[in-house]
Structure formats: C-alpha cells, structure tokens
Amino acid sequence: MLYMLICSVLMLALVKIMWQSMIAAASGERQLIKNNAKLVFTCFPAICFIISPFILSFISGEGIYTVKTLSQLSVASQWLGFISSLVMVIVFSFYSERGKKFWNTGCAVLSLILAFIFFDSAMFNTGENGSANSIFIQSISPDVKCERGMVIFKYKKGDESEWRCPTSIAMMQESGKMFIPWPDYEDGKSKDLTKGIDKLQDEFKDK
C-alpha cells in the first residue's frame, strides 16, 4: 500500500532528524539543534494527522461511536491529512534549499503524493455516499465489477454514480465515508447503479 509506505518513510525521516539532534546536542552544535527543532515541531503534528485514518480505524472498531460520528471523523481526518501533507511539502521544500537537498526534496515529493491521496479520497467522500456488499450492488447494477466484499459509491441523482472497490486495506470501514487510499482501488461510473439506488429509495418511502 503506497499510503502506508509513504507514511513509514516520513516517520523514519522524522526519527532521523531527532537522532541527528541528539548527536548535535552531545557535540554542542546549537545551530543544527535549533534548525532541527523547528522541523520536528512542525512535522510531528502533521504526521499525527497523516496517520490519523489508520489510528481511527482501530477506535471505530470498538463500537463506541455512531456511524454519523465516525463518518464526520473520517472526512475530517482526510481533509486534515491533506492540509498536513501540504504543510510538509512547504517545510521540506524550504529546508531542501538550506542543505541536504536530495533527502528533503524526496520527502517533499512524497508529501505531495500523500496530499493527492488524501484529496482524492476526501473529494470522493464529499456528497451522498454509501457502502454495500458487492454481491448486493451487482444484483442491482451488473456493470459494477468488484470481486471484493464491499463497494463504496457516490450517488448522483439523474447522472452516473461513481463507485470504488478496494483492492487492499480500506480504513474507517465502520463509517459511511471509508478511506481507500489511491491507487488501491478499482473504480467506475454506472447509470444502472443510480437507477438501482433510486428504486430502493422509492421502495423505502412507500413503507
């Protein structure tokens, strides 16, 4: 999973900076300590927000919160992850101009990819979303090709609804706004899916 790989690399980068600060403290390099401290205090909160969907997945499994609350938390964590990733792009780009260009530029590029991953998921989860068993979805919309157990969809009345089928780990599964990091999903659009959802809504209203 690309998301987890990037998070791991960025966390290792932060640990490396902290280790350098400890060595600098022992040798009395105050300027290096000062520069690294700024980087650590900026990046540490950002990394916490970036890994928040993964952490929230464990909390959501406890069954303490409602689906509505979990959905709000999921979307909030995705937008915070997007903002935090952009902050890290700016920070690492700034420090790449001040030395260790290769390492800092690499972290800036990875942060930019992470920003796209969060933005892609957050935008998909903005609107009328839902999830259902893939067998059920295929029963109302045969053109949705998904071999996994769950399909998430973005309903668009009068238009083709978007759907995604996770090919790896999906986070915040107990919410109505799952975090499925790019590129670990198959996706598509379906008019039949829209018609199927419309039919189900009409049947529900009649009851």
78-116 residue pLDDT tens: 999 999 999 999 988 887 766 667 888 899 999 999 999
In whole angstroms, give the CA distance from residue 13 to residue 31.
19
The boundaries of the domain holding residue 41 are 2-124
* Each residue's pLDDT tens digit, 162-198: 999 999 888 988 888 899 999 999 999 999 999 999 9
Which of 124, 143, 171 terminates a domain? The answer is 124
Q: Do both 82 and 175 map to the same domain?
A: no
Which of 86, 104, 124 terminates a domain? The answer is 124
Residue 88: strand, helix, or coil = helix
Residue 134: strand, helix, or coil = helix
Taking alpha carbons only, the member of 185, 196, 94 closest to residue 155 is: 196
Q: Do both 56 and 71 map to the same domain?
A: yes
In whole angstroms, give the CA distance from residue 132 to residue 149.
9
Which of 77, 101, 124 terminates a domain? The answer is 124
Q: How many domains does the chain have?
A: 2
- Predicted local confidence at residue 201, as pLDDT: 83
Residue 173: strand, helix, or coil = coil
The 161-166 sheet, strands edge to edge = 128-133, 150-155, 161-166, 185-190
